[in-house]
Amino acid sequence: MTPEMQKFIELLERQLGYSEKAGAYTKFGSWYGKNVEFDADYSSAPWCDMMLSWAAHKLGYEEWIGQFAWTVAHARWFKEQGAWGKKPKPGAIVFYDWSGSNKIGRIDHVGVVTWVEGGTIHTIEGNIDGGVAKRKERDTSKVVGYGYPEEIKARLDEEVAQQAKEAKKKAEERAEEPSRPGNDVGVLELPEDEALSAMIPHAERDEPARAPHSGGRDTAPS
């Protein structure tokens, strides 16, 4: 498990024992409605996934853990990201269907795996056993699949590193390019008489007298 995922789990551990308030209100739903979907109704909505979203936001991990209230959409997102599978491992987001259908469209609960022991997964889950955040030990018979945030993070980190590498290469190539002709500014030297003439304002130069004219005509009127 990466240090970032360990911090995520530690933050969730500090939420253990949290329970719904009057009217099914939770701080997770309230936060979600004000910051993600802007809908006050989320304050009393099922909150197992919103607890994960809240923790991800607190740590700045939104891009690779996700921001969801609906477990089905969250699972589909992991699949679209290429970070979906059937193998349990610490740090994986686990999705359940209590009916055992094994279909993403039927998912109705989510948690995070803290460790695996044989065929048993140990998890932290919100909105369980009457609306409480608790540790659970479960077999995998109701598990639809797992989302792997660490795989998404690794891909994003690689993309950032590649972009930085390409930017550095382009900067080095520009630095090695020779100066182009015409870019250097030189000083044009003129003969002394031409230089003096160039310094005299046009109005002060001697010019031949011009014949007077009237109205722009070339000849006098008849």
Q: Tens digit of pLDDT for each residue in 42-55?
A: 999 999 999 999 99
62 falls within a domain: yes
91 falls within a domain: yes
159 falls within a domain: no
32 falls within a domain: yes
139 falls within a domain: yes
* pLDDT at residue 36 is higher than 80: yes
Question: Global pTM?
Answer: 0.76
CA distance 48 to 129: 12
Name the amino acid, one letter, at 11: L
Domain interval for residue 20:
3-153
161 falls within a domain: no
Q: What's the mean pLDDT when you consider all of the chain?
A: 86
Give the chain's domain count: 1
Least confident of 53-57, 149-153, 208-212: 208-212
* pLDDT at residue 137 is higher than 50: yes
Contact 88, 146 (CB under 8 A): yes
Q: What confidence score (pLDDT) does residue 177 get?
A: 78
Q: What confidence score (pLDDT) does residue 191 get?
A: 57
- Sign for the CA dihedral angle at 152, 155, 159, 165 comes to positive
Q: Name which of 116, 65, 108 is nearest 86 in CA terms.
A: 116
Q: Name which of 48, 50, 10 is nearest 33 in CA terms.
A: 50
Three-state DSSP state, 10: helix
Query: Domain of 23: which CATH number?
Result: 3.90.1720.10
DSSP state of 105: G
- Average pLDDT rounded to a whole number, residues 91-114: 98
pLDDT in tens, 152-189: 999 999 999 999 888 888 888 888 877 666 555 555 55
User: If you search the block for the tokens 């789990």, which residue do you land on?
Assistant: 9
